[in-house]
Amino acid sequence: MFDTVALATDGSESVSRAADCALDLAVRFGATVHALYVVDAGRIESLPDGVRDDVRAALDEQGREALADVEAVNDARAEPATLGTAVRVGRPADAIVDYADEIDADAVAVGTRGRHGERSFLLGSVAERVVRTCSRPVLTVRHLE
């Protein structure tokens, strides 16, 4: 039923719980999880040229840390899942949907509140857009406080 699960991560607490759910799903069905971090191109393009490279480097580092966190969670499990990681640049929701298509994901897991959760309504702008535009099943995982 599930061979490939895409997991969108931004390193937030909400995604930590989504990662647990995606990894559980993968172990149960013998699937592979593909964790994805998207460098938000909109955050870079709007910056002055003088700081653009520094911000891009900081966002790349944030992405490496977010993916390392998913790897650490998986490695600490009694039964780890098969896990791959990737970084893309673009609009986060669009890049997540495109990546799910690229890897032919059977499901996409997203947290419902990311780094900008306090300013988002209900699901959060990225999760909401993924749910609306993705042709694949989307597992939305609520952040418990």
CATH number at residue 129: 3.40.50.620
CB-based contact 101:73 (threshold 8 Å): no
57 burial level (CB within 10 Å; 0-12, 13-18, 19+)? exposed
Q: Which residue has the tokens 């996409």?
A: 108
Q: How confident is the model at residue 114 (pLDDT cuts 50, 70, 90)?
A: low
pTM for this entry: 0.89
Residues in the chain: 145
The per-residue pLDDT for 45 is 86
Domain extent at residue 60:
4-141
Instruction: Read off the tokens for 29.
Output: 């069905």
Rg (CA), the chain: 15
Provide the domain count of the chain. 1
Q: What is the average pLDDT across 24-43?
A: 95
Mean pLDDT of the 55-78 span: 95
At residue 108, the pLDDT reads: 98
CB-CB neighbours of 4 under 10 Å = 19
Mean pLDDT score of the chain, rounded to an integer?
90
Please work out, in degrees rounded to the nearest 5, the angle formed at the alpha carbon of residue 77 by the alpha carbons of 76 and 79. Answer: 140
| Percentage of the chain modeled with pLDDT above 70 | 92
How far is residue 41's CA from residue 86's CA, in Å, rounded to a whole number?
A: 16
